[in-house]
């Protein structure tokens, strides 16, 4: 069976049993604890945690997943991969252990002719948690297997928890015996022999005092017992297709075959080559799926993972001997196989391929530059007598040049060096902790939502009226300070206030939260921020302006600042208009990847690999303002997500949407249709104006447009007008002639600067002859060791080379010039051929004086340069030069 048929039979099997088929969620769910969806149950977490009510009692899905902690092991074993598909069936308080086992066993063992997978029962072994006798009894009852065919495993293998207080429970796995060639009889820890391909989680326990995933207390039973299963599609595929591993299945092996054609190497002939072939097949597919879901290469978080995957794939095929751009050959092969299921890969191919191919081109240039840096670092290590490249150097290669650590390790090994991996990984860990701390510090990403959950459980959801009104009469449900309940706030205090109903828009979808006030009997609160820490609850960050605030039975008057809301509506609608204009000018593949808007201002990030020309920026602005002038109607309606997509609505990358209804905002009908929960104007003309103020890169494959809207747009234009008026007054010209007049002045300035520079260099070099004629004799060597105050690096190098050329021919000559300018030291050493023949090296001389002036440097034997920050020791450094020249010349 091909992979698509295995997937189809899985979904059909559970759909016949009353499960609701749920499409795969994006790989980029809004979860501060996850970079990517890494398990089939992740999209259903709010249901299992009781944060949301599921719209169905039972569901089934085939979920896209990415796991990258073991990325270095990809290809080295046949078990590790980064992208995979997890087939799952889920029960939310409906059926439990017995029916879950029945469903799994039926599909696995039913003959293929009857719609099953046809696995041989004689090779199947269920496993159970060692302390779950109920599961043992059920497996015996349902399968008829003897006791010795049911493996008992410990907590680390067969008990599921998330490592935090909440639901947990024992697991059962279905294992298949691949035979004695893969391991010893009965050794269930040998994953190659007894391969687990289906895991059934029986979510029945309430966990507390969680110390780790394997160390916790069970405080009781869950009020509703749930089922969460996961079946690895790739594992079932390779077992049913008669191949050895996941890399050889129908949706992956064609990439290996293309790599064979490109390189002339053969898969299966050499272990190291096989590892590289597998890396290529895995990483090409993973990269393509990530780009398809909106990730672009970068140096942080998701973008860094994608960059690493792409670069490992490129490097692997280069190590197989293929030097030309490879991704344009490999990506279409993976697209054609995966696109049979994920049709967006075809419709969005222009953008996906553009991002991938641009990253390969960047990396090809990076490899050249980074290799030179590595060579210098390796030379430095060897000259110092060491044999290990430091963790700092390895981390710099990784962080600055995008070198994976395994690339550095391999290059170091070829150079006869080791690498301080512990130091490197320590620096990597520090970087990850900084990234995590930064993520936790972002507004709205509350690390502990327990206190908000308690408020929601006690009082129910906030009645959110931001679409209907700008003011409400409300009751205070909770007052919090520092995450704990508080009794009151006095003037100047800041706290969090939960109301039973609110007109305030909570920050989401790129739109900033509303500003305004909340008045109470005897005082007033200023609303500083509004967030949704958990679904259903709106939390207002407030500061007491007047009076002492104590929650009570009296009504509060919540009032959104109407000017603020007007500006916010203009900016958010303006963002949609700019997005539509961008797509009209650049094409449909220019899709928004992020946005932020507040009153009077918007920024929009979009996937694009090249900078926009001034003409393109002007065209985008013109199309946008023509849409405003056309007074296009703005409307919204609710529909299901499939209906919205069929209608042509754009769903933004990484956003999560309600499974039942989504809100579609349209401007001018089909011209702009997007899924959006923000506040908007009623007609495009109410935006006022859109003034594009900038376009720039925000990372590889991502650009950003910024603009002002409404009154802020007019103010920006007024400031620009004032600047033009001042310049025309100063230059005594007309506005239409201003650019030419300024251009003339700039050209005259450049000419003057060139003349000044020519005169300055001439003056500097005029002393070269005198310095050469005054060279000191150090043994047989003519030495010029001289200090030049006010000279920077370029001047120092020019003078050193000039003096060296003036020294007597046929005699050893050494020139060391040290300049000082703006508190910085520049050192250049120049040595002629006769001096080098006597063992003198410019590189050695610069390295000798570098520490004295508070810096370092290096170069070749004939010319080397360096720098430092300690001007006070220049004379001492020159003395060291003379001593070093004398020592080498005497030797």
Query: Which segments are annotated as binding site for Zn(2+)?
Result: 572, 576, 676, 680
Q: Which of 543, 453, 469 lies closest to 501 in space, CA to CA?
A: 469
Nearest to 397 by CA among 428, 438, 356: 428
Q: How much of the chain is in helix, strand and coil states, percent to nearest 5?
A: 45, 25, 30
What ranges in 552-595 are assigned the alpha helix state H? 562-586
Closest CA to 71 of 87, 89, 83, 58: 83
Largest CA distance in the chain: 104
Cα separation, 5 vs 494, whole angstroms:
58
Rounded distance between C-alpha atoms, residue 52 and residue 686, angstroms: 37
CA proximity to 411, closest of 433, 445, 381, 431: 381
Residues belonging to the chain: 891
* Closest C-alpha to 527, from 547, 539, 541, 511: 541
3-state secondary structure at position 657? coil
Angle at which helix 842-849 crosses helix 874-890, to 10 degrees, equals: 140
Residues 477, 482, 483, 484, CA torsion sign? negative
List, in sequence order, every residue forming a beta bridge with 158; answer none if it has no partner: none
Residues in Cβ contact with 655 at an 8 Å cutoff, skipping those fewer than 6 apart: 26, 30, 509, 675
3-state secondary structure at position 448? coil
E strand intervals along 459-573: 463-464, 471-474, 476-481, 484-485, 494-499, 501-502, 516-520, 523-531, 539-546, 556-560
Known binding residues: 572, 576, 676, 680
What is the rounded distance in angstroms from the CA atom of residue 84 to the CA atom of residue 80? Answer: 10
Residue among 855, 856, 808 at smallest CA distance from 833: 808
> Does residue 295 contact residue 303 with C-beta atoms inside 8 Å?
yes
The SS3 call for residue 355 is: helix
What's the rounded Cα separation, in Å, for the pair 880 and 887? 10
**What's the rounded Cα separation, in Å, for the pair 197 and 175?**
6
Report the distance separating Cα 20 and Cα 58, nearest Å.
6
> 586: helix, coil or strand?
helix
- Distance, in Å, from the CA atom of 407 to the CA atom of 413, rounded to the nearest integer, reads 10
Task: Identify whether the C-beta of residue 791 lies closer than 8 Å to the C-beta of residue 764.
Answer: yes
| CA angle at 385 for the pair 380 and 391, rounded to the nearest 5° | 60
């Amino acid at each position: 069976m091909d992979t698509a048929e295995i997937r189809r039979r899985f979904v059909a099997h559970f759909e016949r049993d009353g499960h609701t088929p749920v499409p795969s969620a994006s790989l980029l769910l809004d979860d501060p604890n996850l970079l990517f969806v890494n398990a089939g149950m992740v999209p259903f977490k709010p249901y299992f945690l009781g944060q949301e009510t599921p719209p169905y009692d039972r569901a089934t899905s085939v979920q896209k997943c990415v796991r990258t902690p073991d990325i270095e092991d990809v290809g080295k074993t046949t078990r590790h991969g980064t992208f995979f598909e997890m087939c799952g069936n889920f029960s939310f308080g409906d059926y439990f252990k017995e029916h879950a086992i029945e469903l799994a066993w039926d599909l696995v063992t039913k003959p293929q002719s009857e719609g099953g997978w046809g696995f041989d029962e004689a090779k199947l072994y269920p496993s159970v948690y060692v302390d779950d006798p109920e599961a043992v009894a059920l497996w015996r009852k349902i399968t008829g297997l003897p006791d010795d065919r049911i493996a008992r495993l410990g907590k680390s293998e067969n008990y599921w928890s998330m490592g935090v207080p909440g639901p947990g429970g024992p697991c059962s796995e279905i294992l298949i015996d691949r035979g004695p060639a893969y391991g010893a009889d009965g050794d269930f820890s040998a994953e190659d022999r007894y391969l687990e391909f289906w895991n059934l989680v029986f979510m029945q326990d309430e966990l507390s005092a969680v110390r780790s995933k394997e160390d916790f207390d069970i405080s009781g039973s869950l009020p509703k017992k749930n089922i969460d299963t996961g079946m690895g599609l790739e594992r079932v595929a390779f077992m049913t297709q008669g191949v050895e591993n996941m890399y050889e299945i129908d949706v992956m092996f064609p990439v290996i075959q293309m790599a064979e054609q490109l390189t002339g190497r053969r898969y299966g002939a050499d272990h190291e080559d096989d590892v590289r072939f597998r890396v290529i097949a895995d990483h090409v597919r993973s990269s393509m799926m990530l780009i398809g879901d909106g990730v672009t290469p970068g140096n942080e978080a998701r973008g860094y993972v994608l960059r690493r995957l792409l670069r490992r794939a490129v490097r692997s095929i280069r190590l197989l001997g293929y030097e030309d751009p490879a991704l344009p050959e490999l990506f279409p092969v993976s697209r054609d196989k995966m696109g049979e299921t994920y049709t967006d890969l075809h419709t969005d191919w222009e953008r996906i391929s553009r991002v991938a191919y641009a990253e390969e081109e960047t990396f090809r240039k990076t490899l050249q530059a980074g290799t030179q840096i590595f060579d210098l670092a390796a030379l430095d290590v060897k000259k110092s007598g060491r044999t290990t490249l430091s963790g700092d150097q390895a981390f710099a290669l990784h962080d600055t040049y995008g070198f994976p650590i395994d690339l550095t390790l391999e290059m170091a090994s070829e150079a006869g060096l080791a690498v301080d991996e512990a130091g490197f990984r320590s620096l990597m860990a520090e970087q990850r902790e900084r990234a995590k701390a930064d993520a936790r510090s972002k507004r709205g990403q509350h690390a502990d939502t327990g206190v908000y959950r308690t408020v929601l459980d006690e009082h129910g959801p906030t009645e959110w009226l931001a679409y209907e009104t700008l003011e409400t009469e409300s009751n205070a449900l909770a007052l919090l300070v520092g995450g704990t309940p508080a009794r009151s706030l006095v003037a100047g205090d800041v706290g969090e206030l939960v109301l039973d109903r609110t007109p305030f828009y909570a920050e989401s979808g790129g739109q900033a939260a509303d500003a305004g006030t909340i008045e109470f009997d005897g005082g007033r609160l200023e609303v500083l921020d509004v967030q949704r820490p958990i679904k259903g609850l709106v939390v207002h960050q407030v500061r007491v302006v007047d009076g002492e605030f104590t929650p009570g039975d009296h009504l509060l008057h919540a009032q959104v600042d109407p000017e603020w809301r007007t500006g916010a509506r203009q900016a958010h609608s303006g963002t949609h208009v700019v997005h539509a204009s961008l797509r009209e000018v650049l094409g449909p593949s220019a899709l928004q990847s992020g946005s932020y808007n507040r009153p009077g201002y918007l920024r929009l990030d979009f996937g694009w690999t090249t900078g926009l020309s001034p003409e393109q920026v002007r065209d985008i602005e013109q199309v946008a303002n023509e849409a405003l002038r056309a007074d296009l109607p703005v409307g919204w309606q609710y529909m299901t997500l499939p209906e919205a997509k069929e209608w042509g609505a754009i769903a933004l990358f990484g956003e999560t949407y309600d499974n039942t209804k989504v809100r579609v905002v349209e401007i001018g009908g089909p011209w702009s249709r997007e899924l959006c929960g923000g506040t908007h104007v009623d007609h495009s003309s109410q935006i006022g104006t859109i003034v594009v103020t900038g376009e720039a890169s925000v990372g590889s494959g991502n650009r950003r447009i910024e603009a002002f809207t409404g009154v802020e747009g007019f103010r920006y234009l007024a400031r620009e007008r004032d600047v033009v008026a001042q310049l025309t007054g100063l230059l005594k010209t007309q506005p239409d002639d201003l650019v030419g007049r300024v251009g003339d002045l700039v050209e005259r300035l450049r000419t003057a600067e060139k003349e000044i520079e020519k005169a300055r260099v001439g003056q500097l070099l005029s002393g070269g002859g005198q310095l050469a004629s005054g060279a000191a004799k150090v043994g047989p060597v003519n030495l010029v060791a001289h200090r030049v105050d006010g000279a920077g690096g370029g001047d120092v190098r020019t003078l050193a080379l000039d003096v060296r050329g003036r020294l007597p021919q046929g005699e050893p000559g050494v020139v060391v010039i040290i300049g000082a300018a703006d508190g910085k030291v520049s050192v250049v050493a120049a040595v002629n051929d006769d001096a080098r023949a006597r063992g003198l090296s410019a590189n050695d001389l610069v390295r000798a004086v570098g520490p004295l002036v508070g810096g370092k440097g290096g170069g070749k034997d004939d010319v080397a340069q360096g720098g430092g920050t300690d001007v006070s020791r220049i004379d001492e450094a020159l003395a060291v030069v003379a001593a070093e020249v004398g020592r080498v010349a005497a030797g």
